[in-house]
Amino acid sequence: MALKTARFNEAAKVEVDQALCTGCGTCAKVCRGAPLSMEGKQVKVDQTHGWGCIGCGQCVTVCPVGAIHVTGRDLGPADVLPMPPPESRADYASLNNLLLTRRSVRDFAARDVEPEMVRRIVEAASTAPMGLPPSDVRVLVFDGREKVRAFRDDLFAELKGWKWMYSGVGSLLMRPFLSKELREVMQGFVRPVTEAYEEKEREGVDWFFYGAPLALYFHASAYADPADPVVAATYAMIAAQSLGLGSTMLGFPGIILKRSKALKKKYGVDANAEAGLAVIFGYPAVRYHRVLRRRFGEVRRWGEENAA
Ligand SMILES: Cc1cc2nc3c(=O)[nH]c(=O)nc-3n(C[C@H](O)[C@H](O)[C@H](O)COP(=O)(O)O)c2cc1C
């Protein structure tokens, strides 16, 4: 039985080149699918065992002699690349410095984002982990201010269409159908944000997508883990930072799209999917001179409070 995703229903094919295989057993050790096992010094492939091959690629990348080939579930021999040498990889200090220098950028220079930059961002983000391979994450690219603006206008029109739900008679009528939390979010967040966007729009300022020259919308099918687009979007932001681009995540587009059948249809978003995540990008128009130390709401070492 293979694990179904939106794109694949069947197991990937695993081939072992017996002439190359040394019988070390590492592939079977890391296989959690779990079609691989060892029979003495021989790797055995049994697709009826466990889930069958899900195409995680662990066996291929761990094999010291390149004796394993996996084909299917969007993976093939051409996807197996040489290991980048250690000296070419970011170490903790350089990665941490890159992360520290990232700010959510909302002021963009007039310069467009080159197609090569978009390609690099998508390439780096596609290395992100996913709940179940292969990734169901879909990236909708709005390259150029005009496209971003048109997407933004569609979303904003939908957002303005929600006004009746939190004002006057509408809010009374909707009361029995909306949870207490949703009513609070509508009144305390959606309403003031919509009003602020509208006020800025009257001044000719875009406070929704900040006039960005590039937007990527990360979404996935209903089969995917809802976290998949978020993880991919996070990788994209970090990649953008490494390329000298600024970026900001936007939560509203996903929330709006999730509730609009017409917009989901227009933009090819799965009708039953969870909200995706938009990220805007562009060359920063401001320069940051300092970085911030941030901390989580809590980092609690389990058992520590009882240790004394
Ligand atoms: C899920 C998510 C949604 C966000 N949505 C918005 C948004 O709609 N508009 C906006 O200006 N910033 C948005 N942000 C950016 C946050 O406001 C920003 O990350 C926060 O202020 C911290 O600043 P920093 O990213 O510069 O560290 C969002 C961030 C996340 C993670």
Give the Å distance between the CA of 249 and the centre of ligand 1: 5
- Inter-residue long-range contacts of 266-270, CB under 8 Å, 24+ positions, other chains counted: 266/154, 267/140, 267/151, 267/217, 268/138, 268/140, 269/140, 269/219, 270/6, 270/219, 270/220, 270/221, 270/222
Note whether residue 217 is domain-resident: yes
In a domain, 21, yes or no: yes
Residues 63 and 101 in one domain: no
CATH number assigned to the domain comprising residue 39: 3.30.70.20
Residues 248 and 140 in one domain: yes
One domain, residues 68 and 117: no
Determine the residue type at 251: G
Q: Do the domain assignments include residue 291?
A: no
Nearest atom in ligand 1 to the alpha carbon of residue 277 is 1
Q: Contacts by 138-142 with C-beta closer than 8 Å and gap 24+? A: 138/218, 138/219, 138/220, 138/221, 138/268, 139/216, 139/217, 139/218, 139/232, 140/216, 140/217, 140/219, 140/267, 140/268, 140/269, 141/214, 141/216, 142/214, 142/215, 142/216, 142/217
Ligand 1 atom nearest the C-alpha of 248 is 15
Residues 104, 60 within the same domain: no
Domain range for 50 is 13-79
Beta bridge partners of 104: 247
- Please identify, by atom number, the ligand 1 atom nearest to the C-alpha of residue 193: 8
Closest residue to atom 7 of ligand 1, CA basis: 250
* CA 270 – CA 5 distance, rounded (Å): 13
Whether 186 is covered by a domain: the verdict is yes
Q: Report residue 8 CA to chain centroid gap.
A: 19
Ligand 1 atom 31: residue of nearest CA:
249
Taking the centre of ligand 1 as the mean of its atom positions, its distance from the CA of residue 97, in whole angstroms, is 20
Place of tokens 């090569």: 116
pLDDT at 302: 94
Q: Does ligand 1 have an atom closer than 6 angstroms to the CB of 101? A: no
Kindly report, residue by residue over 189-232, the tens digit of the pLDDT: 889 999 999 999 999 999 999 999 999 999 999 999 999 999 99
Residues 45 and 139 placed together within one structural domain of the fold: no
State the residue for tokens 């993976």: 75
CA distance 305 to 308: 7
- Mean pLDDT, 10 residues at a time, over the chain (308 residues)? 84 96 98 94 94 96 98 96 97 98 98 98 98 96 98 96 83 82 86 94 96 98 95 98 98 95 97 95 98 97 76
Closest among 101, 100, 105, 289 to 113, alpha carbons compared: 105
Is 304 within the bounds of a domain? Answer: no
Query: Domain of 261: which CATH number?
Result: 3.40.109.10
Give domain status of residue 92, yes or no.
no
If you measure from the C-alpha of residue 188 to the centroid of ligand 1, how many angstroms do you get, rounded to a whole number? 17
What is the whole-number distance in angstroms between the Cα of residue 174 and the centre of ligand 1? 29
Q: How big is the chain by its Cα radius of gyration, in Å?
A: 24
| Domain edge (last residue) among 79, 111, 127 | 79
Listed residues 49, 79, 109: the one ending a domain: 79
Residue 278 CA, ligand 1 centroid: distance in Å: 11
Q: Whose CA is nearest to atom 30 of ligand 1?
A: 249
Give which of 283, 273, 189, 179 is closest to 225, Cα–Cα: 273
59 and 135 housed in the same domain: no
Based on the fold, state whether residues 69 and 215 are members of the same structural domain.
no
66 and 101 co-located in one domain: no
Q: Whose alpha carbon is nearest atom 23 of ligand 1? A: 104
Q: Give per-residue pLDDT as tens, 238-285.
A: 999 999 999 999 999 999 999 999 999 999 999 998 999 999 999 999
What atom of ligand 1 comes closest to residue 292's alpha carbon?
Answer: 27
- Between the CA of 297 and the centroid of ligand 1 the distance, in Å, is 16
pLDDT score recorded for residue 182:
82
| Residue 142, φ and ψ in degrees, nearest 5 | -110, 90
Please check whether residues 36 and 65 belong to one and the same domain.
yes
Any domain includes 233: yes
180 shares its domain with 226: yes
CA distance 77 to 205: 50
Which ligand 1 atom sits nearest the alpha carbon of residue 252?
8
- Residue 146 and residue 61 share a domain: no
Query: Which residue puts its alpha carbon closest to atom 10 of ligand 1?
Result: 250
Shared domain check, 58 and 185: no
Quote the tokens at residue 308: 């004394």
Q: Is residue 292 part of a domain?
A: no
Ligand 1 atom, smallest distance to 253 CA = 8
For residue 307, the one-letter residue type is: A
Residue 78: helix, strand or coil by DSSP? helix
Q: What is the pTM of this model?
A: 0.94
Please indicate whether residue 251, judged by its CB atom, sits closer than 6 Å to ligand 1.
yes
What is the total count of domains within the chain? 2
Contact yes or no for 281/240 (Cβ under 8 A): yes
Q: Which residues of 188-226 are buried (b: 16+ CB within 10 A; e: fewer)?
A: eebbeebeebeeeeeeeebebbbbbbbbbbbbbbebbbe
